[in-house]
Copies of this chain bind each other. A is one copy, B any other.
């Protein structure tokens, strides 16, 4: 299957993971940077290939086959991120950009070799789970957005759910990375700001950031 198809299916998978699905052609088009018309066309084409269910004006829904394809691409993406992160001194954003290309040119054999080399990791450097070779995600995600954290509690950062350069650079600069602890010192309900303590520094975050930083309660 082509790169365009892999990316289309992947975009539906990603946009369908939220509570409120965003998988109408227009949203997928926006995600991929193509026109709405192109997305509708593609949706029809992929329905004919049994990769998704298409009904006029409705949300696009992946079939089992389509989900498998998406997870296979996601697996390769996250394995590349993990490998590049381990081997090279590159920013998370750069790593994401490289993985975005490499994911489509990677045989299942190579993906398995990368996985094995890394000790079959369950998470990538963003904290995102890596599907296994059968296309299953076996870990259970109990994390919550930092915006839902409670005052006075300490949390462990589990996922940084964005590939935005500005955001990731900010995270690196402030020690906001996978595995680190944060204490929620104050939640401002009015303007939805959150004050946290990390590495002995107090910083103030707005909801744009606290809604994509996911954390787990400390055991």
Q: Which residue numbers of A lie inside 8 Å of B, CB to CB?
A: 84, 87-90, 94, 97-98, 101-102, 104-107, 109-110, 113-114, 117
Contacts and interface: CB of A to CB of B under 8 A. Distances in A.
Nearest to A105: B101
Contact of A117 (B87, B110, B113, B117): B87
A107 B117 CA distance: 23
A109 B88 CA distance: 11
A104 B98 CA distance: 11
Copies in the complex: 2
A15 to B, nearest CB: 24
A110 B96 CA distance: 12
Nearest to A94: B109
B88 A117 contact: yes
Nearest to A107: B98
Nearest to A95: B110
A89 B12 CA distance: 35
A176 to B, nearest CB: 24
Contacts of A102: 102, 105-106
